[in-house]
Amino acid sequence: MGDFISINPATGRELSRRPALDAAAVDAALDRAEQALPRWQEAGFHGRAEVLEAAARLLEADAKRLAALMSSEMGKPFAQGVAEAEKCAWACRFYAEHAERFLADDPHESDGSRAFVRYEPVGMLLAVMPWNFPFWQVFRMVAPALMAGNVVLVKHAASVPQCAEAIATLLRRAGAPRGVYEDLAIDHDAVERVIADPRVGALSLTGSDGAGRAVAATAGKHLKRCILELGGSDPAIVMPSADLDKAIPTILKGRTQNNGQSCIATKRVIVHAAIAEAFERRFIAAMGALKVGDPMDESVDIGPLATESIRDGLAKQVRDTVERGATCVLGGKPLPGPGFFYAPTVLKDIPDGSPAADDELFGPVASLFVVDDLDAAIAVANGTRFGLGAAAWTRDDDEITAFIDRLRAGNVFVNGLVKSDPRLPFGGIKDSGYGRELGRAGIRGLCVTKTVWVD
């Protein structure tokens, strides 16, 4: 077992180290969670809501401090970190307010005197979380899980140990009893042992499709339910009737938010030939005007990539795509100096089978595709193994209907930015995973569905 090492991606300097838990410490965490479970369920919706409401207040009060932590540990631009902390508070309040209604007994017709569906907590859940939204990814799963009456074990990403500890501390300050939220600093090899523990009833993972396959295989071996939110290669289709004054800055934000490191980032921009020249000119100019630098500088648009290996992997994907025949019209290389910075990049003439066409590019790299009609646009959008999000820009009602009906993705947004929202279910299809987070479906997915029939 190695240490969890925090490295500032803007400088490449080590910030802190945290040793991984040994087997005895993991067992102790599981014991604490098991002991806390009945008391947490007895607290009821009102008692659990008090903790979530307190967590929301702390998230808002500490938003700037937490944002600075995100900036220093994984390179998130400071203003985006503030917004992330505030979004976590929103999720806490949303479920504190709505969980009891979402999980109320659901009556059904039957041949008995009455029948209903009841939603009961699974018990102990394991969450395997990524580094790119180190607070939001945790809270969007933990807020509904805790309100449903579950206790949660969280294995956070090894590169954000300070964020992981900050979340655990915040929930303790909010009044979560010991054992209700356990921060597991464990490596990947130890995850299988936790999944196998009979006290763990289900798990949730956000990460790459490779990580999803590994965790799903282990969960299947032990007959454990899992929710997988995996990678994406999200398209944004731009048709001739689109409002380019709105579409271009929104697509730009979708591609470069969080330094381009988002599963639902707009990775492939599919533009109708009738407007391709105008769109390309304006989009390249907008990408080229972005300021890259210290994520704590609020005038900066793009900070560093989270790790050296992510930057180097992205550089290889771009290089391989260009070697296969693509044209790089902006950027296309790491930036000199300390830190893990990569230049805002635009590729076009993307060949089939290249990384930009087939894989997920995690960084500020936009891939442009030109098509002749709606059918071709949908074919390109759907022509990927991923299916997380998709966006379409048009003011034509028939085209809107076609995109809603025919785009193959778990989330389809028309004339707007693909995003997660506590009020709406979120998740993917195909290699982007299965199961849903958020909304009513999200909290019910963290429960056992019990059918009750009475004569």
- 229 carries an active-site annotation: yes
- 92 carries an active-site annotation: no
Residue tagged active-site, from 229, 360, 399, 437: 229
Strands 3-8 and 447-454: unpaired
CA-CA-CA-CA torsion sign (408, 414, 415, 417): negative
The CB density around residue 225, as the number of other CB atoms within 10 Å, is 16
Residue tagged active-site, from 263, 360, 437, 447: 263
Supply the residues annotated as catalytic: 229, 263
